[in-house]
């Protein structure tokens, strides 16, 4: 198994190198590199499934230099679950990328392919790393590879801004992780994660540092500012990898640190539920008022990370009170990690197909694409239903378990815990509100983009993409249905992983609870399957009755007014305007009288613009203050050698005084 894990990492690197070496032979490179990436995923899936089914762990140590510590890697059920999502999605994204750059030069395409494979391998390296040195090395590889994908179209100044925004945010989070690891390493005298068990009196400080450091990568609300900048700038398949998989390394890191603690205080649960509720509701609200299709999905990722955080917070509360909610909530959070990777990747791929066909991501400039791109529109509708958590699709499975754990928490018990009941009510309310806003958001996205009349004329014919881009979308959409109908098997698969997360001193693993939850979900799956069978039966009956008849189609009835135009239909702005008016003070939204440039019918209505509240009122003042302080400190750099010698002397005297004390 160790050979397969190392081989998987090497194959990702080899696939990236092939993109570079075969740039002069694009046809051969287009086939060979994705094949290597697919083979890497197969190599990785074998040990991952073995770990998940056997509940074992695989340890690997690689000595690569006499001057540096060996690289320590460990594959256990927790890292294996996150790697499962990577190996399912990343090969499909690689194949999609082969058809994504029809007008780019071979060198640019090869550079993008190289960093895409390095990012996929870097994510797996992060999940494997089991000591401080290996983890920080993997974290930097992953972060820098994502940076080069974000600035791929660097000729655009907005893309450059997004790239530097991402780089600043990711290294700000890394600074908190570095402080956390320094604290752990100095306390334990070791670099190995296995020596950190217990955390002792520094557990609360470590939790706060991990929440900020990993939360920046995960995109918790308030730390999310890089997501809506970076995702629209990157190519769509790179955005899918970043949103569907890379941000989950933040969730993984937080869970990994939490498993080291002897106990989980109740305030940890309150903090995670608060962060999850704000991220879920806030992400959905900001997604609802966006005009850029990929920017909308970036805020939707913030919302879904909030749902995962709600599940983890509920799991902390369940553990704290030794109730049945703990494992079920954790299992729901882990399932949502996997399912979000599927439907969000699918949505980003369809967004890329729309951008290719129309040349724009502006929702208010689109419309009527369902007739022109029926396959893409159908997949987008399916993935939109999944992201809204509608049964029988996969987005419902994780939310079902979180709802179930919260419901059990608020039921009357022999030993009532006030925090557990209140937390359950908060989670139920936050999930319900988030789900309603998400449904409204993607109703707007699908309706404005694919339904109605076209809002502008396109120079090129608008058609579905080529098979290289279409098949990965179809496969992801099919997996959304399959994982939804087979959710009971996923619950049983994730049960051992959820049982390994909790401190053993507080809870005894109760796999029977998750078996009962799987049985409950099976009833939902069977009812949904019966409805699907009934739907297709009526569809076949309709086709049979219409056989031999002439069926004609015409324009939609306009209530007696036959001259309807695109100007008379809802836009993204008008769709969300009632909600914007209600939350105007909260979102600080401005209403203007301008349509986006290129809008055909005229300029007689309004559009909404939502500035980054955290950027304007927190990060800009903070960085301005830091800049002013840096300018003051700069005065110490006089350029005189004698002054620098004086600095060294003062530093030496300070060290000697400290050692004497």
- Residue 607 φ/ψ, nearest 5 degrees: -135, 155
- Residue 198 φ/ψ, nearest 5 degrees: 110, -50
Q: Which of 255, 408, 244 is nearest to 328 (CA)?
A: 408
* Spatial separation of the C-alpha atoms in residues 237 and 294, rounded to whole Å: 11
**Contact between 85 and 245 (Cβ < 8 Å):** yes
* Spatial separation of the C-alpha atoms in residues 169 and 163, rounded to whole Å: 10
- Give pLDDT, residue 503: 63
Tokens of 657: 């005084």
Q: How far is residue 566 from each of residues 439, 563, 603, measured CA to CA in Å?
A: 24, 10, 12
**Three-class DSSP category at 637:** coil
Vertex 88: Cα angle to 443 and 28 (nearest 5): 105
DSSP class of residue 234 equals: S
Tokens of 638: 């006089």
Vertex 419: Cα angle to 416 and 424 (nearest 5): 90
> What are residue 608's DSSP bridge partners?
591
Residues of the chain where predicted confidence (pLDDT) is lower than 70? 23-30, 64-69, 102-105, 200, 320-324, 412-419, 458-460, 503-512, 556, 558, 562-564, 578-618, 638
Q: How far is CA 10 from the centre of its chain?
A: 25
**Contact between 15 and 8 (Cβ < 8 Å):** no
Q: How far is CA 83 from the centre of its chain?
A: 14
- Give pLDDT, residue 564: 67
Tokens 């983009």 correspond to what residue? Answer: 449
User: Which residues are CB-neighbours of 243 under 8 A, at least 6 positions away?
Assistant: 227, 231, 297, 298, 301, 344, 345, 348
Question: CA end-to-end span of the chain, whole Å?
Answer: 52
**Contact between 130 and 73 (Cβ < 8 Å):** yes
Vertex 350: Cα angle to 345 and 353 (nearest 5): 130
User: Which residues are CB-neighbours of 117 under 8 A, at least 6 positions away?
Assistant: 12, 13, 15, 16, 19, 33, 37, 94
For 512-536, letters b (16+ CB in 10 Å) and e give: ebbeebbeebbebbeebeeeeeeee
* Spatial separation of the C-alpha atoms in residues 59 and 76, rounded to whole Å: 9
395-410 helix and 487-499 helix, angle to the nearest 10 degrees: 60
- Give pLDDT, residue 420: 74
The domain segmentation of the chain, as residue ranges, is: 1-184+222-256, 263-540+570-611, 620-660
- Give pLDDT, residue 91: 93
> What are residue 58's DSSP bridge partners?
75
> What are residue 75's DSSP bridge partners?
58
Residue 602: how many CB atoms within 10 A of its CB? 9
Q: Which of 10, 16, 8 is nearest to 32 (CA)?
A: 16
**Contact between 610 and 589 (Cβ < 8 Å):** yes
* Spatial separation of the C-alpha atoms in residues 437 and 493, rounded to whole Å: 30
* Spatial separation of the C-alpha atoms in residues 621 and 532, rounded to whole Å: 54
Q: How far is CA 441 from the centre of its chain?
A: 17
**Contact between 333 and 396 (Cβ < 8 Å):** no
- Give pLDDT, residue 508: 46
Q: What is the pTM of this model?
A: 0.87
- Give pLDDT, residue 545: 86
* Spatial separation of the C-alpha atoms in residues 383 and 376, rounded to whole Å: 11
Question: Is the previous residue joined to 87 through a cis bond, with omega within 30 degrees of 0?
Answer: no
User: Which residues are CB-neighbours of 245 under 8 A, at least 6 positions away?
Assistant: 85, 86, 89, 90, 120, 123, 341
- Give pLDDT, residue 327: 82
Q: Which of 451, 239, 435 is nearest to 351 (CA)?
A: 239
HEC-encoded secondary structure of 387-446: HCCCCCCCHHHHHHHHHHHHHHHHCCCCCCCHHHHHHHHHHHHHHHHHHHHHHHHHHHHH
Indicate the Cα dihedral angle 466, 471, 472, 478, nearest 10°: 150
């Amino acid at each position: 198994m160790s050979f397969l894990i190392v081989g998987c990492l090497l194959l990702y690197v080899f696939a990236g190198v092939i993109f570079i070496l075969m740039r002069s032979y694009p046809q051969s490179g287009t086939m060979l590199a994705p094949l290597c990436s697919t083979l890497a995923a197969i190599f990785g899936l074998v040990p991952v499934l073995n770990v998940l089914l056997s509940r074992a762990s695989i340890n690997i140590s690689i000595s690569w230099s006499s001057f540096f510590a060996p690289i320590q890697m460990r594959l256990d059920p927790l890292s294996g679950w996150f790697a499962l999502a990577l190996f399912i999605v990343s090969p499909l994204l690689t194949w999609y990328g082969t058809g994504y750059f029809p007008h780019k030069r071979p060198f640019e395409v090869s550079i993008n392919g190289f960093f895409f494979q390095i990012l996929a391998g870097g994510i797996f390296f992060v999940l494997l790393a089991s000591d401080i040195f290996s983890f920080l090395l993997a974290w930097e590889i992953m972060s820098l590879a994502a940076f080069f994908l974000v600035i791929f179209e660097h000729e655009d100044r907005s893309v450059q801004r997004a790239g530097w925004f991402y780089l600043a945010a990711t290294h700000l989070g890394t600074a908190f992780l570095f402080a956390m690891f320094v604290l752990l390493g100095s306390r334990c005298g070791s670099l190995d994660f296995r020596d950190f068990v217990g955390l002792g009196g520094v557990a609360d400080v470590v939790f706060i540092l991990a929440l900020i450091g990993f939360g920046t990568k995960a995109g918790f609300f308030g730390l999310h500012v890089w997501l809506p900048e970076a995702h629209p700038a990157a190519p769509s398949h790179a955005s899918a990898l970043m949103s569907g998989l890379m941000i989950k390394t933040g969730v993984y890191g937080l869970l990994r640190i939490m498993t080291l603690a002897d106990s989980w205080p109740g305030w940890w649960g309150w903090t995670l539920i608060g962060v999850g509720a704000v991220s879920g509701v806030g992400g959905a609200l900001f997604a609802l008022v966006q005009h850029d299709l990929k920017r909308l999905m970036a805020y939707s990722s913030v919302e879904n990370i909030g749902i995962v955080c709600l599940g983890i917070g509920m799991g902390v509360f369940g553990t704290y009170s030794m109730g049945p909610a703990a494992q079920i909530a954790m299992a729901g959070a882990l399932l949502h990690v996997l399912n979000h990777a599927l439907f969000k990747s699918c949505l980003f791929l369809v967004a890329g197909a729309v951008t290719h066909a129309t040349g724009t991501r502006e929702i208010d400039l689109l419309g009527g694409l369902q007739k022109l791109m029926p396959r893409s529109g159908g997949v987008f509708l399916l993935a939109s239903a999944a992201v809204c958590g509608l049964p029988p699709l996969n987005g419902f499975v994780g939310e079902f378990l979180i709802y179930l754990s919260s419901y059990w928490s608020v039921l009357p018990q022999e030993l009532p815990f006030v925090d557990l009941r209140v937390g359950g009510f908060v989670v139920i309310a936050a999930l319900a509100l988030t789900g309603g806003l998400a449904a409204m958001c993607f109703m707007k996205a699908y309706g404005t983009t694919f339904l109605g009349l076209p809002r502008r004329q396109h120079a090129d014919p608008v058609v579905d993409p080529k098979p290289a881009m279409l098949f990965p979308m179809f496969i992801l959409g099919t997996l959304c249905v399959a994982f939804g109908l087979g959710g009971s098997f996923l619950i049983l698969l994730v049960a051992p992983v959820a049982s390994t997360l909790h401190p053993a001193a507080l809870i005894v693993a109760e796999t029977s609870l998750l078996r009962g939850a799987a049985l409950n979900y099976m009833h939902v799956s069977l009812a949904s399957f019966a409805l699907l069978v009934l739907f297709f039966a009526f569809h076949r009956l309709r086709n049979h009755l219409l056989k031999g008849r002439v069926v004609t189609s015409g324009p939609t009835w306009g209530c007696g007014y036959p001259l309807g135009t695109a100007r008379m239909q809802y836009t993204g702005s008008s769709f969300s305007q009632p909600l914007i008016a209600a939350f105007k003070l909260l979102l600080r939204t401005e209403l203007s009288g301008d349509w986006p440039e290129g809008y055909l019918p005229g300029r007689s209505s309004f559009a909404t613009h939502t500035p980054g509240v955290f950027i304007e009122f927190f990060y800009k003042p903070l960085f301005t203050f830091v800049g002013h302080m840096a300018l003051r400190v700069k005065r110490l750099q006089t350029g005189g050698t004698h002054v620098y010698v004086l600095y060294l002397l003062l530093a030496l005297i300070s060290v000697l005084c400290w050692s004497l004390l």
